[in-house]
Homo-oligomer: A and B are copies of this chain.
Amino acid sequence: MKNTKSYIDQHKNRFLNELIELLKIPSVSADSTYKNDVLKTAEVVKDSLKAAGCDTVEICKTEGFPIVYGEKIIDSNLPTVLVYGHYDVQPADPIELWDSPPYEPIIKTTDIHPEGAIFARGACDDKGQMYMHVKALEFMTSTNQLPCNVKFMIEGEEEVGSVSLSKFVEENHEKLKNDVILISDTGMIAKDVPSITTGLRGLSYVEVEVTGPNRDLHSGLYGGAVANPINILTKMIASLHDENNHITIPGFYDRVEELSKDERAQMAKAPFSIEAYQKAIDIDSVYGEEGYTTNERNSIRPTLDVNGIWGGYIGEGAKTVIASKAYAKISMRLVPNQDWEDITQLFKTHFENIAPKGVRVKVTPHHGGQGYVTPIDSIGYQAASKAYEDTFGKTPIPQRSGGSIPIVSLFEKELKSKTILMGFGLNSDAIHSPNEHFGVWNYLKGIETIPLFYKYFTELKK
């Protein structure tokens, strides 16, 4: 590729301003209040793809939020790269913990990002990383260096389970035909330690409701004599882990892939400081499943976390009441081979079984997806590796991520192609948290690295 650096230098400010405009739209897919903002975002993405050089761009309606599809086919004999990303974002709550409004992007410098970082919900996950691909395409088309065909599929329901996308992929095999799928929705180990994500965890997300009496009761008149749904819920949730923090749901571990000593030894080589890890989130100790390291606990081991809990009086002051109902949102991160629908059913059955007399339990599955592992000997992986070598001057490290991109395994099943996860975010970018941000350096480095993937993938394919 020629003049990548100079092109980026020349258009840097525009690249930043375009992303900032995109980040101003609160495209929260989980909250129907933002429906119109999500739809508006799809339009902006469509226009950006058109401007970047796609020949055809369309907004594909679904039962949920639309999928933006665009393509530039230069020669049917050349390989085709399918870029996937999402334009929806996580809710911004708790809003009060943001130093600046989540939808008023601002560039500030940090210790890790001396060149500045864009602070906004979605800056890294995934608007910023998705937009790197749009700008990389712009560079290749406007300098006549696009070496192969490219297709874009940008969805608006990733943060709520990609329900519509699954259907869309199943129904559009021909349209989405490709030789490799490219995604930037993960992170890298550190700015000076490029990495390629080779594994993702699956996910099962459920909501539980425990009902006791048919109305809130006076805790004096009834306290001690009836099952308190909140006390019961805490007992039930607490029982889901044993004293070694193993998950107690019968059958939960049956299909968990056990890594070999060798593989675990390889993982252990990735640079990691437990002190820095604890300091970054201000905890005095890590916590988790006996027998595994921190990096193993958050990548190759399944988990069960309560993401939200509520019940009774949560206002100011005191209310002496026994609530009629208590609720929790619970998610399980799964490892390859665990089937999310099986696990969801195992959870449901177990949770209903452990409910004591005096309460009724309802388990509602939200969404989920399978885990994924990609081989490091594929052409796609090698092309990505060479691209990083050019722009970072070192070979990237393959790493398992604890996160989930549920549709990746679906892509393999339906489209029969491998996914390459080139992430440019950092764990410290606070995705899903207040003050999410994305380094300006990372953003531009992505735009610089991506075209090289196209180059090497096309060459290796020959």
Chain A residues engaging chain B, CB cutoff 8 angstroms? 29-32, 90-91, 93-94, 97, 159-161, 187, 201, 203, 205, 207, 212-228, 230-231, 233-235, 237-239, 241, 281-289, 294-295, 297-298, 301-324, 326-329, 331, 333, 356-359, 366-367, 401-404, 427, 430-435
Q: CA–CA, A440 to B32, complex, Å?
A: 45
| Residues A366 and B317 in contact in the complex (CB < 8 Å), given A213-B283, A219-B331 | yes
Residue in chain B with minimal CB distance to A430:
B215
Contact of A234 among B159, B161, B234, B358 (CB under 8 A): B234
Shortest C-beta distance, A344 to chain B (Å), equals: 13
Q: CA–CA, A290 to B319, complex, Å?
A: 27
Contact of A221 among B90, B320, B331, B427 (CB under 8 A): B427
Residue in chain B with minimal CB distance to A326:
B309
* Contact residues in B for A319 (Cβ distance below 8 Å): 30, 90-91, 93, 159, 307-308, 329, 432
Are B308 and A311 in contact, CB atoms less than 8 angstroms apart?
yes
Are B402 and A94 in contact, CB atoms less than 8 angstroms apart?
no
Contact of A216 among B97, B207, B312 (CB under 8 A): B97
Are B432 and A298 in contact, CB atoms less than 8 angstroms apart?
no
Are B331 and A230 in contact, CB atoms less than 8 angstroms apart?
no
| Residues A329 and B308 in contact in the complex (CB < 8 Å), given A237-B234, A432-B217, A433-B217 | no
* Contact residues in B for A329 (Cβ distance below 8 Å): 312-314, 318-319
Residue in chain B with minimal CB distance to A29:
B317
Q: CA–CA, A320 to B29, complex, Å?
A: 13
Tell me the interface secondary structure of chain A in the complex: loop
Contact of A298 among B221, B286, B427, B433 (CB under 8 A): B221
Q: CA–CA, A225 to B227, complex, Å?
A: 33
A-B contact pairs, 14 of them (CB 8 A): A31-B315, A90-B321, A159-B319, A203-B320, A205-B318, A214-B283, A221-B431, A222-B298, A224-B302, A225-B286, A225-B287, A225-B294, A308-B313, A310-B310
Q: CA–CA, A356 to B319, complex, Å?
A: 28
Are A307 and B322 in contact, CB atoms less than 8 angstroms apart?
yes
Are A281 and B213 in contact, CB atoms less than 8 angstroms apart?
yes
Shortest C-beta distance, A35 to chain B (Å), equals: 12
Residue in chain B with minimal CB distance to A32:
B316
Are B201 and A220 in contact, CB atoms less than 8 angstroms apart?
yes
Are B305 and A228 in contact, CB atoms less than 8 angstroms apart?
yes
